Amino acid sequence: METVENVVIVGAACAGYTSAIYTARAFLKPLVIVGDIDGGQLSQTSDVENFPGFPEGIQGPELMQKFRAQAERFGARIETGSVTKVDFRTRPFSLTIDEERTVRANSVIIATGASARWLNLPGETRLKGKGVSACATCDGFFFRGKELAVVGGGDSAMEEATFLTRFASKVTIIHRRAEFRATRVMVERAKANPKIAFLFDRVVDEVLGEARVDGLRLRHAKTGEVSTFPCQGLFLGLGHEPNTAVFRGQIDLDEAGFVVCPKWSWTSIEGVFAAGDVRDPRYKQAVSAAGSGCEAAIDCERWLAEHHAG
Respond yes or no: is residue 138 known to be catalytic. yes
Task: Give which of 278, 245, 267, 253 is closest to 86, Cα–Cα.
Answer: 245
Tell me which of 14, 138, 231, 300 is the catalytic residue: 138
Helices (H) and strands (E) in the chain, counts: 6, 19
Peptide bond between residue 242 and the one before it cis (omega within 30 degrees of 0): no
Give the chain's largest Cα–Cα span: 70
Residues whose CB is less than 8 angstroms from the CB of residue 51 and which lie 6 or more positions away in sequence, other chains included: 58, 63, 286, 287
Dist. CA 300–CA 294, nearest whole Å:
10
Tell me which of 135, 231, 261, 300 is the catalytic residue: 135
Respond yes or no: is residue 139 known to be catalytic. yes
How far is CA 18 from its chain centroid?
15
Tell me which of 38, 47, 98, 139 is the catalytic residue: 139
CA distances from 158 to 33, 162, 171 (A): 35, 6, 11
- φ, ψ for residue 155, nearest 5 deg: -60, -35
Helix (H, G, I), strand (E, B) or coil at 15: helix
Per the rule left: phi > 0, alpha: psi between -120 and 50, beta: everything else, 257 is: left
Respond yes or no: is residue 47 known to be catalytic. no
Which amino acids are annotated catalytic? Answer: 135, 138-139
